[in-house]
Amino acid sequence: MSGQGAPDLTVTGSGLRVAVIAGSWHQEITEAMINGAAETLSDACADFKIYRVAGAFELPLAAQTALQNGYDAAVCLGVIVRGGTPHFDYVCDAVTAGLTRVQLDSGKPVGFGVLTVDNEQQAFDRSGLPGSKESKGKEAAEAALHLAVTCRDIA
């Protein structure tokens, strides 16, 4: 499991505005990731709002729009489960490249909490639900906050 050896990225997010943007597929898993992100942002005293989009493919444009309209960071959450066609590969590549481009073009952090898994059990294991081994929503929020504070310190 990739969570072994995860760093402690806890920071104070006071004064930061964060958009949490989540896809709508695999609702139970996505809701758990949203809850993990929201708890992390709340604990860090960051101001945040949750937005829903249709699926993972829509995350880059929503993140770009949020960052262009006053948000300091975006936390993007979604679940993409491999199926029997190449669709999985196309969506995963597009979402990853899109969110990377948004982050670099805007100069603002994008927390990447998009699960790209072979089956729903792997997504469950990373969801933050009771019995899961990781909370990718929490980790994506921590990463976005940490990078926002680091970039602020560098500037």
pLDDT for the residue numbered 155 = 85
Q: What are phi and psi of 71, to 5 degrees?
A: -80, 145
> What does the block give as tokens for 62?
């929503």
Given the residues 6, 45, 49, 87, the one annotated as active site? 87
In whole angstroms, what is the distance from residue 46 CA to residue 55 CA?
25
Over the stretch 19-47, which tens digit does the pLDDT of each residue have? 999 999 999 999 999 999 999 999 999 99
Phi-psi category of residue 132: left, alpha or beta, with phi > 0 → left and psi -120 to 50 → alpha: beta
- 4 pLDDT band, cuts 50/70/90, is low
Question: What is the pairing mode between strands 73-81 and 17-22?
Answer: parallel
- 26: annotated active-site residue: no
Over the stretch 62-111, which tens digit does the pLDDT of each residue have? 999 999 999 999 999 999 999 988 999 999 999 999 999 999 999 999 99
DSSP H helical segments within the chain, as ranges? 27-43, 59-68, 87-106, 120-125, 136-154
Q: What are phi and psi of 135, to 5 degrees?
A: -135, 90
pLDDT for the residue numbered 6 = 72
Which CATH code is given to the segment(s) 18-154? 3.40.50.960
pLDDT reading at 143 higher than 60: yes
* C-alpha angle 60-25-42 in degrees, rounded to nearest 5: 70
